[in-house]
Structure 1
Amino acid sequence: MQTILESNKMDNLQQRLNHYQRQVQEGELNVVYEYLIKTLMQTKQYLVRQPERGFEYGNVAPGYLDYSYFPIVNNFLKKRKLRFGIVLNHQKLCLELWLMGQNVTIQKAYWQKLQHSQWNKHLTQMPQYSVLASELISHPDFTQKNALFIEIEKQLFPLMDEVMCFIEKIEK
């Protein structure tokens, strides 16, 4: 038998499902989401064309309308079971750089090493999916893709280098 509280949760869920269905039927959500995911894929392709930097790029994970990302690794990161991710934060509609561990054990170990770093000093606990998260571009102009790709490149590589140098320094 359902309690009143459970019944209210289901009513609220049903209202949310109805709202979701209306959004999907209107078509705007689908169009914008597809555009953003394709832009993330194109960003990856732009970066792939620079093999001299020594990075490998994984597939785009579209996510659940919360975060979409693709991983970036090199030998330094692989050795430590880490990877960077260029992340599209759907709620903030911004681009972030995350450092992630291969598993929970790696995440926790690197959180211990990085929790007081300049990237994490404002946090009181480890982020849910990463060891650190740093905003790359706070207000990306997704309508100007070439300029966006150049800006990502300009922000991305120095930041990744800075994080890797920091890790190397603290591991000595």
Structure 2
Amino acid sequence: MNFDKNLLMTYKKLIQTTELERSYQEFLRLFRFLRVELEKELGDYRFQGNIIENGMDYSYFQFTNDALKKKGLKIAVTFVHRNFQFEVWLSGFNRKIQCNYYELLKDTRQPFSLTEDPKRSDYILRIPLDQNLDLSDGKRVLSEIKDASLRLLGYMEGVEAT
């Protein structure tokens, strides 16, 4: 099997000539802080054990509670690397559940971004955080993520899929 030599050499150059490795480690430190602190503040929810890194496409951790679980739903705190932006997603446990909620919500107005294609995206609804949010201010980022999560959770309390 052959691999793209130019991309591999670009990666080598980035690792050797920038602080890419240390910068990524600092990002992970921030993300772990957010997960741990959010779990402390939202004690009624069960958090997934660790952060999932999806090949620098996006990284996330998720949580749910009994009420959400009965609906087949979870919240994902997501960092989209290309946009360098946090988002909070409402997701289904599987594509079938996502499609059911999409059908339920597609003709309604809500204050969130609704997926365009529930069969291909990993969320039903999402809230992108402000791109100008100072990520070095961990407490502020935590507050924004918690607020977005609670807004999604509150919205979904009255929504039932068929």
TM-score by length of 2: 0.82
Partner of residue 149, structure 2:
156
TM-superposed deviation, 1:27: 4.7
DSSP-derived class of the 2:54 partner: coil
Which structure 1 residue ranges, 5 or more long, are not aligned? 1-9
Q: Amino acid of the residue matched to residue 46 of structure 2?
A: E
- Is 1:56 the equivalent of 2:46? yes
Number of positions where the alignment pairs a residue of Structure 1 with one of Structure 2 = 157
Relative to structure 1, the CA distance from residue 135 to residue 34 in structure 2 (aligned partners, 3 Å threshold; closer, same or farther) is same
Relative to structure 1, the CA distance from residue 166 to residue 23 in structure 2 (aligned partners, 3 Å threshold; closer, same or farther) is farther
The answer to whether the 8 Å contact 1:137/1:152 transfers is: no
Higher relative contact order (CA 8 A, sep 6+): 2
Relative to structure 1, the CA distance from residue 36 to residue 105 in structure 2 (aligned partners, 3 Å threshold; closer, same or farther) is same
Relative to structure 1, the CA distance from residue 73 to residue 124 in structure 2 (aligned partners, 3 Å threshold; closer, same or farther) is closer
Find the structure with the greater CA-based Rg: 1
2:128 to 131, 135, 150: 135
Relative to structure 1, the CA distance from residue 154 to residue 129 in structure 2 (aligned partners, 3 Å threshold; closer, same or farther) is closer
The answer to whether the 8 Å contact 1:99/1:132 transfers is: yes
Taking the aligned partners of 2:14 and 2:87, their CA distance within structure 1 comes to 26
Q: Amino acid of the residue matched to residue 86 of structure 2?
A: L
Taking the aligned partners of 2:159 and 2:131, their CA distance within structure 1 comes to 25
TM-superposed deviation, 1:42: 0.5
Identity of aligned residues (%): 24
Partner of residue 28, structure 2:
37
TM-superposed deviation, 1:107: 2.3
Taking the aligned partners of 2:76 and 2:53, their CA distance within structure 1 comes to 13
